[in-house]
Amino acid sequence: MSVALNLTVVAGTNRIGSRTLRVAHRLLERYASIEGVSASLLDLQDLPLELAAPSAYDEKPPAFKVFADAVLASDGLHVVSPEYNGGMPGILKLFIDHLPFPESFEQRPVAFTGVAAGRFGALRPVEQLQGVFGYRNAHIYPERVFIAGAARLLNDQGEPVDDWLRARFDSQVTGFVDFVGRLKA
Ligand SMILES: Cc1cc2nc3c(=O)[nH]c(=O)nc-3n(C[C@H](O)[C@H](O)[C@H](O)COP(=O)(O)O)c2cc1C
């Protein structure tokens, strides 16, 4: 690849012990193994708790700056979201709502992976996210990955236990790198 890419993987919950976070780490490793790609993680467990204060809309907590800066500096975002009550976690929407507008997502490439205990594999939160990112003029990568029955399909490290899902992870990662590279070139 001729263009150096800086990608950011967002682990879309702050739940301790989250499978989403483990999947985000496995994706991060895949990105980092590709020549010319650097990848970093945004873990919503690290968000400052003051982000939920009513005053945060007027005055961001200083510790939020590293999150906003990482998004603004990234060539592409890969958002990994669990399904909570048929949608994205509240903390993920709060994070999105506090990012600088409109530059955070405007023409920024984004890929999505859904993680759920249930049989629909977080289709609902991923489609919600596509609506939000589409509204904000992001370039949505069309190849999505849905992990249904996550406890069965992932090992304790968040790596797929079957070849079919592993191939989906690999295909999405290499395809997204190509997509981001073409948009950046
Ligand atoms: C508050 C909450 C709500 C949840 N709601 C759903 C749901 O609507 N559908 C579903 O398939 N799984 C649901 N789950 C289970 C998650 O999909 C499951 O924990 C999965 O491992 C991904 O979430 P995690 O990253 O927190 O581990 C819920 C979990 C939590 C903590």
Q: Note the pLDDT tens digit of each residue in 111-157.
A: 999 999 999 999 999 999 999 999 999 999 999 999 999 999 999 99
CATH code of the domain covering residue 77: 3.40.50.360
Nearest in space to 144 (alpha carbons), one of 119, 161, 169: 169
85 in contact with ligand 1, CB cutoff 6 A: yes
Q: Whole-structure pTM over 0.85, yes or no?
A: yes
146 in contact with ligand 1, CB cutoff 6 A: no
Cα gap 81→40, rounded to integer Å = 16
**Low-confidence residues of the chain: pLDDT under 50:** none
Question: For residue 2, what pLDDT is reported?
Answer: 57
How many angstroms separate the first and last alpha carbons of the chain? 10
Question: For residue 107, what pLDDT is reported?
Answer: 98
Contact 97, 88 (CB under 8 A): no
CA angle 18, 75, 97 (to 5 degrees): 55
Contact 125, 87 (CB under 8 A): yes
84 in contact with ligand 1, CB cutoff 6 A: yes
Question: For residue 71, what pLDDT is reported?
Answer: 98
Cα gap 180→182, rounded to integer Å = 6
For the record, the structure tokens of 104 come out as 């955070």
Contact 109, 74 (CB under 8 A): no
Question: For residue 33, what pLDDT is reported?
Answer: 97
The best mutation among 23, 84, 93 to test binding of ligand 1, ranked by most ligand atoms within 8 Å of the C-beta, falls on: 84
149 in contact with ligand 1, CB cutoff 6 A: no
Nearest in space to 15 (alpha carbons), one of 70, 80, 67: 80
Question: For residue 102, what pLDDT is reported?
Answer: 97
Question: For residue 168, what pLDDT is reported?
Answer: 98
| Number of domains forming the structure of the chain | 1
For the record, the structure tokens of 2 come out as 């001729």
Instruction: Tell which atom from ligand 1 comes closest to the C-alpha of 115.
Output: 22
Nearest CA to ligand 1 atom 5: 84
Q: Which domain holds residue 98?
A: 5-184
For helices 163-184 and 19-32, the axis angle rounded to 10 degrees is 60
